[in-house]
Each structure stands twice: as C-alpha cells, then as structure tokens.
Chains A and B, each alone.
Chain A
Amino acid sequence: MLTKRIIPCLDVDDGYVVKGIRFQDIRKVGNAVKLGARYAQQGADELVFLDITATTERRQTLVSLVQKVAREIFIPFTVGGGIRKLKDMERLLKSGADKVAINTAAVKRPALIKEAAKSFGSQFVVLSIDAKKSGHQSWIVTTHGGRRKTNRDALDWALKAESLGAGEIMLNIIDADGTTQGYDLEATRQFSQRLKIPVIASGGAGNLNDIFQVLTKGKADAALAASIFHYGTYTVKQVKQYLKKRGVAIRI
C-alpha cells in the first residue's frame, strides 16, 4: 500500500543549508547537496530545497543547486523559493528537479498554475500555501513569507489551485509572528478531506508525536520537517521507526 512520506526541508542560501528562526540567529548547517544526500541515505522519501538566497543571482544559484542534486541524489526532490515565471520553472525541471513549488507568484497570478500544469504536467507543480488562522476553522492566505495578509480563504484557494491543475498542496500554517508553531491538525485534516490531490503538512514538528498526529489525525499524505532533522534531534530513520511502530504505513 502507498506509504506516508517523510520529507526533510532544506532552506538553502547560496548552496548552504541554514537553520534558525526567520531572519534571526541564522547559522549555516552544511552543504545542501551533502546534507540532502545524507537524508536520502537515511531513508527520506523526498526532499524539498527552498531557496532563500536574497541576491539577484538567485536564479542561477538555484539552477546549479538543482543540477548538483540531480547528479547525486536519486529520490524525488522539489525546489521552491521565489519562483515567479514559467520559464524559471521550465529551467529548473530541465535541470533535474522533479517538482517545482510556487507560492506568492501563484497568489498574484493564479493562471500560472494552469500554465505550468499544461506545460509540464500536474505532477510537477506544487502549490505552497502559508496560511494564518483567522477565526473558527478558517484560515487566510498570506504571501511574501507570511508577512502580508490577503483576504483569500486558504481552503478555497487550495481547491481552486486543484481545479487549475496543481499536483500537490504544501500547507504551512503560521502564527502571529510569521513563524511556524507546529502542524495544525484541524487545518490539515480539513484540507486533506476536501482535496483529491496529496497534502504535504509543513510547520515545524517539535517531536515524534507531532509527526504521528499530522499523518493520522491530520490525514496528511506527507510530513515536511526541518529543524527536527537539522538540529540533529532525530534522524530520519528514528522518525520512521517510531511511526512504523505506531502503525503508520511507512517505507522502511
């Protein structure tokens, strides 16, 4: 049977993985390709590389990163981070990326999702949503790394993206400070039940039980995690063994 996916997420600045709360205490963890390869070797099901390079050379650094990853890592990987145009997506896919994640650019111009799905195929297009709680059982879409609020309902947006051809939804629930607090089980569950495409839960797992809950109660198809791996709190193997012991369908 299809297993739940554990996906380490690597924030990359100029080829290096960085860790730390957004804009504070940023520290280099290691070479992105090497770290990615290590996670793959430990049993990661997929990888996500998010480009946070602030310079204008971003496009080229991301393409080189993708080329390097494709040469050494043989599990699926997604790239994202400031991707705005169809041409950029095409270049990244041609360089070896399996999927491309878009966020703000799609909110600004939803037709981008349709165009990308038509040009490359839905399976290559991931819509990443940063959503903030805005009332009872409703969440609102934010952009620009969570710094700007819109007046779009996040679930409606996800459903719209699905109808436009998005292949997967990456759902990141952020709190008042724009930082992630952990998975939001209620949000994930609602999105997973309404959508026919996979939902990847994102949001800073604190511990093993968090991941267990989001994949079971939250009904997510996959769990994204960063600090828990980068800080060395748990290895991918430990997370998977824990989940398997608790009865989750996991690839070990």
Chain B
Amino acid sequence: MNALEHIGARPILTRSSNMIRRAAKVIFPGVGAFGTGMKILRKKHLDTLIKQICLDGKPFLGICLGMQLLFESSEEAPHTRGLSIFKGVAKRFRVRKVPHMGWNKVEVMNKTPLFQGLNKNFFTYFVHSYYINAKDKTTLIGRTQYGGQFASVVATGNCYGVQFHPERSGENGLRILENFVKRC
C-alpha cells in the first residue's frame, strides 16, 4: 500500500467482490500458503471473480503467492486446485538453502509494458520456498536462476504474475508498480 501511494496511485485494500468488480485494476498480493489461500478465495467466491477479471482483460497483477495461485496446483497443497489461469504447477525448491530469500536477477524473455524502463536483466527481492514451472512458454516473460531456472514473471493478456515482491524491490520494484498502474 505504501509503495503504491508513493508512486501516486490511490489503492484500496479490500475483500469485497463489489469493490474488486468496480476497480480499474486489481493487485493480488499473497503471503502464506497455497492451500489456505485457495480455501479463502473459494469461500468468498473470489476464485470465479478473479478468473472472470482475467478473461475480461482487466489489468490484474498477482504477487508472490498471488502469482502461484493463478496456476494449476502446488506441491505445497497436493489436493488443492489453483485458479488454472496459467498452465503449470508450483514445486518446492530442491536447493540447500530454502527459502529463496534475497535479491536475484530477472532475465527478460519478452517485451511487456510492465518492464518499461528496466534493463534486460534487473534485480528484485524474492522470498519463497516454492517456484513455478510454467508449462506454456508463451506466458513466460521473465525467468530467474536458483538451482535451476524458474518463472519469475508470467503474463497472459492483461493478467500478470510476479514471483518477487515489487514493493520491496527498491527502484526496480516501484517502476514495475508504476508501469502496472500507468501502462497496463
């Protein structure tokens, strides 16, 4: 919220379907666990709403868990179905030190208004134990290396997902938020 206000946006924090439906753009931050996250979305009927928003082309940005929930499922919650807006699953890192915590590079794979003004490789801040393996490579617009390569930025239409935390990624992060608010 602070980051959005800092770049001049007027964000509203809400759980209300009505507010979300009326909003010009939607940001879906996520911290926590896949299973609990989906449970809450289903309970409040926000799952169908989010799918509709993305289908309608309203600008949507999922952050961290908010991005993972847009996929089909996660090793974190084996019997839970995600929103399946993107094809692919979330897997747990099989690297020595988990979570993936700190600054790492996003390698730009595809041009997008979200990356306006950023370099071909730019640093952002990550904190996560599960990563996305995007099945549909046309949706992969940014990737990062930790152990192997994983999807750090995905997009389909006006629906975006970023694995890192733009609100914690200094100037690069603020730029991405600004691009989402002003250019997407």
Contact = CB atoms under 8 A, between A and B. Distances in A.
Contact of B104 (A3, A75, A122): A3
A123 B104 contact: no
A230 interface: no
* Most chain B Cβ neighbours within 10 Å, of A3, A40, A167, A251: A251
Contacts of A2: 100-104, 126, 146
Contacts of B31: 121
Interface string A107-146: 0000000000000011100000000000000000000000
Given A74-B168, A197-B97, A123 B102 contact: no
B99 interface: yes
B173 interface: yes
B170 A75 contact: yes
A196 B146 CA distance: 15
Interface in B10-39: 31-32
A123 B127 contact: yes
What DSSP secondary structure best describes chain B's contact surface?
A: mixed
B169 A74 contact: yes
Interface residues on B, range: 20 to 34
Nearest to A45: B103
A3 B102 contact: yes
B125 interface: yes
A206 interface: no
Contacts of A40: 170
Contact of A123 (B101, B103, B170, B174): B101
A3 B127 contact: no
A48 B2 CA distance: 19
A236 B2 CA distance: 25
Given A75-B125, A221-B102, A198 B97 contact: yes
B2 A70 contact: yes
A251 B101 contact: no
B99 A74 contact: no
Contact of B168 (A4, A98, A121): A98
A71 interface: yes
A191 to B, nearest CB: 13
Interface string A84-95: 000000000000
B174 to A, nearest CB: 6
B138 to A, nearest CB: 26
A5 B97 contact: no
Nearest to B170: A75
B102 to A, nearest CB: 5
Given A196-B98, A222-B102, A74 B146 contact: no
A75 B168 contact: yes
A15 interface: no
Given A3-B104, A5-B103, A251-B103, A74 B170 contact: yes
Given A2-B103, A3-B104, A45-B103, A74 B174 contact: yes
Nearest to B171: A74
A96 interface: yes
A1 interface: yes
A197 B101 CA distance: 9
Nearest to B33: A121
B102 A121 contact: no
Interface of A: 1-5, 40, 45, 70-72, 74-76, 96, 98, 121-123, 167-168, 196-198, 221-222, 251
Given A2-B146, A71-B6, 6 more contacts: A1-B104, A2-B100, A2-B102, A5-B103, A74-B173, A96-B2
